[in-house]
Amino acid sequence: MDLFARLQGMRVLLVEDDQWIRDSLRRFFANENCALMAVETGEDALEIIKGKACDIIITDYRLPGMDGLEFLKKAQRLNPRDRVKKILLTAYMTEAVISEAFRLGVHEFIEKPFSTEDLEEALVRVLEKEIIANGRGPGKIL
């Protein structure tokens, strides 16, 4: 699967309070000709979601104000039929966090610190699961 060719038509939202990570990932996606909406807080992300649906949400667990899981709960209430793919970034991989994340439909976890390769692998897994779920078989690009 050509990950970035597939992502070019998708709306990807990053919720991350670390400016260095936001800026680095924004540049990384731009270098691959993909757009990445990147915000600092769950509140900012909810404003974006109110105006437009997202295909993929990548959120940090620890955020100022509401945490990433609370943000995902509120996002789900805003768009209950939305089939957004969810990836959780965290340095706090506890059983309670994992359990709640699964309950909220998180598809992938990336443990901090992480590399762009870790993110690429998680995105590929998320998109491959979508292809299989849609009955198109593994390895076929939509």
Domain of residue 57 covers: 3-133
Considering the domain boundaries, does residue 41 fall inside one? yes
Considering the domain boundaries, does residue 114 fall inside one? yes
For residue 84, the model assigns a pLDDT of: 93
Considering the domain boundaries, does residue 98 fall inside one? yes
Helices (H) and strands (E) in the chain, counts: 6, 5
Considering the domain boundaries, does residue 139 fall inside one? no
* Assigned token pair, 6: 């597939």
Average pLDDT per consecutive 10 residues, the chain (142 residues; last block may be shorter): 91 97 97 96 96 92 97 92 92 94 96 97 92 54 34
Considering the domain boundaries, does residue 32 fall inside one? yes
Considering the domain boundaries, does residue 128 fall inside one? yes
Q: How many domains does the chain have?
A: 1
For residue 20, the model assigns a pLDDT of: 97
Considering the domain boundaries, does residue 15 fall inside one? yes
For residue 140, the model assigns a pLDDT of: 38
Q: What pTM was estimated for this model as a whole?
A: 0.90
Average pLDDT over the chain reads: 91
| Start-to-end Cα distance in the chain | 10
Query: Which DSSP letter does residue 39 get?
Result: E
CATH of the domain at 40: 3.40.50.2300
One-letter identity of residue 107:
H
DSSP 75-102: HHHH-TT---EEEEEES---HHHHHHHH
Considering the domain boundaries, does residue 70 fall inside one? yes
Partners of residue 70 on adjacent β-strands = none
For residue 82, the model assigns a pLDDT of: 77
